[in-house]
């Protein structure tokens, strides 16, 4: 059982997983580090994402979360964090995802600025190249009948890119991704994503396709080369989008 505030404490369970700690909480969901334990000392760290308790009975948010689960289950690429399971616990849904040991691109760039040690050119270029490979896989993804699913991530921001401790690059969180298989469609006129990295079409709530993700990778390359985002000088998110 969770606490009175809805947060699941360390040692409590979500389904068959034991919570280690809460990692983050957003507007629709919260994310936990958890452990899957089995016989003979088996133990594996996973990440659990679940709908916030106050939204669990809201049809709109549950539909969006199920959309995310259906899409994430189809993605199997070494550059994309894997989703293992969609479960239900205490009346709400949760996703069980791969735990990626590494540092977000945000933290890597900040540390480089603090230490006055910019990334080496070879390492710098490796990040967008591997991201583009992962995105190309997602963009070309086909359904069970061979139909093009038209997947667009829409939030390839520094917090959703992890540089692993083994030299890899992982793209996280297809939570606001758009695809043809979604039952709960994102309407044109609704802006989703992080202001400083969205394409002009996305920032103005226009129709977008896979090219909006390519624009964002370009913005990340700008960040890697200069140490600042392309619109960091703007005073707020609305100025960035303008």
Q: Where in the sequence numbering do the catalytic residues fall?
A: 155
Q: Residue 241: how many CB atoms within 10 A of its CB?
A: 18
212 within 8 A of 201, measured Cβ to Cβ? yes
Token representation of residue 204:
């103005």
- 200 φ, ψ (degrees, to nearest 5): -55, -40
Which helix (H) or strand (E) element contains residue 220? Answer: helix 211-226
Calpha distance 211→194 (Å, rounded): 16
- Taking the C-alpha atoms of residue 94 and residue 65, their distance in angstroms, rounded to an integer, is 8
Helix (H, G, I), strand (E, B) or coil at 233: coil
């Amino acid at each position: 059982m969770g606490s009175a505030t809805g947060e699941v404490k360390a040692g409590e369970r979500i389904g068959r997983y034991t919570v280690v700690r809460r990692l983050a909480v957003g507007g629709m969901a919260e994310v936990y580090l958890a452990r899957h334990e089995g016989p003979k000392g088996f133990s594996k760290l996973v990440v659990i994402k679940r709908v916030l308790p106050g939204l669990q009975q809201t049809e709109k948010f549950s539909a969006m979360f199920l959309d995310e689960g259906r899409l994430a289950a189809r993605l199997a690429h070494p550059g994309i964090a894997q989703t293992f399971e969609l479960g239900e616990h205490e009346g709400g849904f949760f996703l069980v995802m791969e735990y990626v040991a590494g540092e977000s691109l945000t933290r890597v760039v900040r540390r480089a600025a603090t230490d006055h040690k910019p990334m080496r050119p070879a390492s710098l270029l490796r990040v967008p190249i591997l991201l583009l490979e992962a995105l190309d896989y997602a963009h070309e993804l086909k359904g069970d009948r061979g139909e093009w699913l038209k997947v667009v991530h829409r939030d390839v921001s520094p917090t959703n890119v992890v540089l692993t401790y083994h030299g890899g690059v992982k793209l996280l969180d297809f939570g606001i991704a758009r695809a043809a298989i979604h039952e709960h469609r994102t309407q044109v006129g609704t802006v989703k994503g992080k202001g400083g990295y969205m394409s002009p079409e996305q920032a103005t709530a226009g129709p977008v396709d896979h090219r909006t993700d390519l624009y964002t990778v370009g913005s990340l390359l700008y960040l890697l080369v200069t140490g600042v985002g392309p619109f960091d000088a703007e005073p707020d998110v609305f100025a960035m989008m303008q």
